[in-house]
Chains A and B, each alone.
Chain A
Amino acid sequence: MSAITRPGLTPAPMPPTQTQTQPPAPATVAGPVTQVRVVRAEWTKLLALRSTRWCALAAAVLITGLGAAIAASGTAYHVSAGNSAAKGVSASLLGLLFAQLVVGVVGVLAFSGEYGTGMIRATLAVVPARLPVLWAKLIVLAGVVLPVTMLCAVAEFFTATAINAARGGSVLSLTDPGVLRTVVGSSLYLTVVVIIGLAFGALLRKTAAGLSVFAAVFFVIPIVVAALPQKITGFAPYLPSNAGGVLWGSPLGSAQALSPWTGFGCLCGYAAVLTAAAAWRLRRGDA
């Protein structure tokens, strides 16, 4: 049938020999995927997203702004036998209870936002090994949350102390027992919280589900448990927010609290287990 002409159709396929004599394709411009490159890619995304800036602003307002407002209201704080300097700092860091939700949203969205929009397919198609994407998001988020919240917490400490002193209260110092731990600990706490949010996002993939679970674990359950009789809440100190909260003196902490660094270690343990589960899910299933 080769003699038949067919207007509108392409000519006969090229014989195989022609393929070999074709000019070589222009060299690729793509280099190997490295962890550093994937980190840069995730940094590009995070920096270009508007929500990042809004969340950073919200965290600053909730930590520093609310802290200053607390210091300026009620009675001025006086250090005494029952009221340590660290306790006073913790009280003015109350905004952390809300800032942790903002940080959790950032963490959850890092993955669920990509699953929800479909961008995850583009992301994982260019990094088919997949795990470098999880590590990159973790590094970038922790790398942003740690310095930003540290700055907010330190600014909060000096602002609140200055206001307290101006109102006739005690002059608190970073060198007072437990104060430095409380200030730095609040930032460390939020850094681990963002990693837990990231793991929830990667595990649940849906923004609504991720945020609900996060809010339940860090906000609803601790409050409900605190209201229950102590006989049945022996596990309360081990709830993530209670365990980690000891480091910065969370007001929601339970009666039989762990020691600060044991509690923080416990929180890190949760983060490690959840991140491992997220890695397993990311690596194993369909994208």
Chain B
Amino acid sequence: MIEIDGLTKRYGDKTAVDQLSFVVEPGVVTGFLGPNGAGKSTTMRMIAGLDRPTAGTVRVNGKHYPGAAAPMAELGILLDARSVHPGLSARSNLLALARTAGIGRRRVDEVIELAGLGEVAGSRAGGFSLGMGQRLGVAAALLGRPQTVVLDEPVNGLDPDGVRWIRLLLKSLAAEGRTVLVSSHLMSEMAQTATQLVVLGRGKLITEASVEDFTDQATGTGVLVRTPEPVRLGQLLAAPGITVVNDGTDRLRVAGITAEQIGITAWRAQLPVYELTPTHASLEEAFMQVTKDSVEYHAGAIR
């Protein structure tokens, strides 16, 4: 479990993380989302004790991580595929980390196989592609079989096979009861992997919700209704918490009520219905909606 309370990090005048509080529960994969510069990586570095918070606290499995007796049993972290020494082989890189916790060569070879690095384990890490470096970084995070795993953009640079590997790996880690926090900009991948979300914007918490609740509250989630009586049906459906939008045709977009309930309402009023289609915002649409005000770096329009 990761408990973050009032976490703040300032670099000079710039506030990278601002009064952040959230909890990452064990047993599920939690996605960590936010536009570039939202403070995700800074938060992850503070979780690992690499950056010192300006204010607030981070607890990993209930403990202050830098004070943990066996850090590798508590937390495994991938911060950057380039957190390796290019002059050392993949195996030496892992072995050097393993030694600090008395982890033996057998476990090192195990994670090398697990990460699919068997054939290049003896090669200098400096010659690795981004994807290989990423696999090495994930292998390092798993070395100690940690209770909590934090991965910053693990699928970055991975081939489709590697992306699938990460997805299955994260789910199996969560199924073992571990805490899994993972950031990614690939929303479709996140939608398939994560069940909980923490969304940041400009260093602040935007929302903390399940993937389902997050997409439910986004525009675009609802029911598309086609009826020759859009005005009458719209009046019947209108209620607090329910939004009905008629675009002047025979279509209604209804949110806040299920297709079943709309069908029953129409049937009771004896109104014909041609179409009744649940629609759902994708995670990407939902993400764009909640973060559009907090995007730090907008791309210009293509001219």
Contacts and interface: CB of A to CB of B under 8 A. Distances in A.
Nearest to A122: B83
Contacts of A74: none
Contacts of B196: 13
B145 A28 contact: yes
B220 interface: no
A75 B89 CA distance: 50
Interface in B42-92: 45, 48-52, 65-73, 75, 77, 79-80, 82-89, 92
Interface in B77-110: 77, 79-80, 82-89, 92-93, 95-104, 107
A128 B48 contact: yes
Q: Quick one: which of B65, B72, B196, B259 has the most chain A CB within 10 A? A: B72
A28 B102 CA distance: 12
Contacts of A231: none
B176 A26 contact: yes
Chain A interface size band reads 35 or more
A41 B87 CA distance: 15
A82 interface: no
A24 B65 CA distance: 21
B260 A286 contact: no
A93 B118 CA distance: 48
A45 B188 CA distance: 39
B56 to A, nearest CB: 15
A12 interface: yes
Interface string B130-150: 000000000010011111000
Contacts of B103: 29-31
A10 interface: yes
A33 interface: yes
B289 interface: no
A127 B100 contact: yes
Given A31-B102, A44-B96, A117-B84, A3 B258 contact: yes
B3 interface: no
Contacts of B195: 10, 13-14
A4 interface: yes
Interface stretch (A15-23, A98-106, A160-168, A259-267): A15-23
Contact of A4 (B75, B83, B278): B278
Interface stretch (A46-54, A63-71, A200-208, A237-245): A46-54
Nearest to A113: B85
B25 A19 contact: yes
Contact of A30 (B65, B101, B210): B101
A126 interface: yes
A24 B145 CA distance: 12
B270 to A, nearest CB: 23
A32 B67 CA distance: 11
Q: Which of B86, B96, B211 has the most CB of A within 10 A?
A: B96
Contacts of A285: 52
B88 A9 contact: no
The listed residue with most B CB atoms (<10 A of its CB), out of A6, A12, A113, A287, is A6
17 contacts: A6-B280, A9-B192, A13-B210, A13-B212, A18-B27, A22-B175, A25-B177, A30-B143, A38-B100, A41-B99, A117-B85, A118-B84, A121-B80, A121-B83, A122-B83, A122-B93, A286-B50
Interface of A: 1, 3-6, 8-10, 12-14, 16, 18-19, 22-34, 37-38, 40-42, 44-45, 48-51, 113-114, 117-119, 121-130, 284-287
